[in-house]
Structures are given as C-alpha cells and as structure tokens.
Copies of this chain bind each other. A is one copy, B any other.
Amino acid sequence: MKLYSYFRSSASYRVRIALNLKNLPYEYVPVHLVREGGEQLKPEYRKINPDAIVPTLIDDDNRAIQQSLAIIEYIEETHPEPPLLPKSPADRAHVRSLALQVACEIHPIDNLRVLKYLKHTLGVDDAAKDAWYRHWIENGFATLEERLANDPRTGKLCFGDTPTIADLCLVPQVFNANRFKIDTTRYPTIQRICDYAAQLDAFARAAPGAQPDAE
C-alpha cells in the first residue's frame, strides 16, 4: 500500500497510526502542503484526490481511497485485527461519535485552506487568525473533556485501554493544539490519554517528527 501524506497533516497522522496498529507496511509518499503553493494542488495529485487534500491511500489493488475516516474504516474492515472499534453497536457509536467530534467539529474549521481564506480573502490579521484557531480547539476540547471525564467507558485511552478510532483522531488534534501553544493540561483526561498513547510504538512511529518529510 501507498500513503500520500504530509508529516504535519493530522488527517494523515490518523491513518498512519491505524496502519501501524494493524502492522501494515506502506510506502510513504510525501505531499508538501505549503511548498510551491501546495503540491496537493498539482494536476497529478488531483487525479488521485480531486479534493486536493491528504491523505490518500492506494490499496493493494491500486484503488485510491480518500477521507481519513473512510480509509480507517476500510482498513478496519479488511484487516480486523487488532480491532479499532469495540464490539457492541452502542459502544461503536460512542467511539465513532468521539472521533467525529474531532473530525467534524474541530479539525475542518482549523484546516489549512480555511486559515488561508481567513488571511488572504477576508484580510484577517494573524492575532485574529490565531484566536480563531484556539476558539475551535478550546470549544471542542472542553466538550470532549466533559464527555471523556464523565463516561465510565473511558480508560487509559478514549475507550478502555486499547486504541480505537477515537484515539486516532484525538492524539493528532492535541499535537496540533500544542504546536499552536494551546495549554492542553487544562483538559486533564485528554492530556492523560495522549500521554499514555505517546508511549505506544504505533503512535510514536506515526508522529509528525518521525516521518521522512519532517522538517
């Protein structure tokens, strides 16, 4: 398999953790999101990902799959062990809803192309852009913290003690937050989960600093 990825892209980071947890080797193909205006916008890349975003997974049959959560569900369905979702439908819904709260309520609003639009089209200054970034992360983390802290299913990780797709979404989002100097120790459950995940090999190998295109 082949993964088109950018070391700092948190959606790519999610998929890298999934591939590592499933012990699936893959070829890393770097797509630089900033250099030359963004390599993701080049026609060659748009052919395999018309939305011009990373990641894209090329599977064993040379099929291109886009959207990180669709890729992760695909990996889960084709390589069920170890499972990244619990067994019961209610627990699966809980885990998916945690993942989607990151993937739908936080990440898209702070995505690179949104920040670019704020700056270049709306003329928002850097301070207001940073405040925007913090606002959506802090708003989302406050809710996630409340949910995780109050749910008896929360363990060392978001659901029990083994990784699920909720952790795959949470850890990269916390990495992003820390990069923007957001103090995540204000969310003790989230922080505790991320500290635990950081020690796991599959997460450590997926971290931005460990990628071949890291800067």
Binding site for B on A (CB under 8 A): 50-53, 59, 61, 63, 65-67, 69-71, 73-74, 77-78, 89-90, 92-94, 96-97, 99-101, 103-105, 107-109, 114, 117, 121-122, 124, 128, 131-132, 135, 140, 143, 146-147
Query: A143–B50 Cα gap in the complex (Å)?
Result: 6
B109 & A93 in contact (Cβ 8 Å cutoff): no
B78 & A89 in contact (Cβ 8 Å cutoff): yes
B78 & A65 in contact (Cβ 8 Å cutoff): no
A143 proximity list for chain B (CB < 8 A): 50-52
A77 proximity list for chain B (CB < 8 A): 89, 92
B108 & A66 in contact (Cβ 8 Å cutoff): no
A61 & B74 in contact (Cβ 8 Å cutoff): no
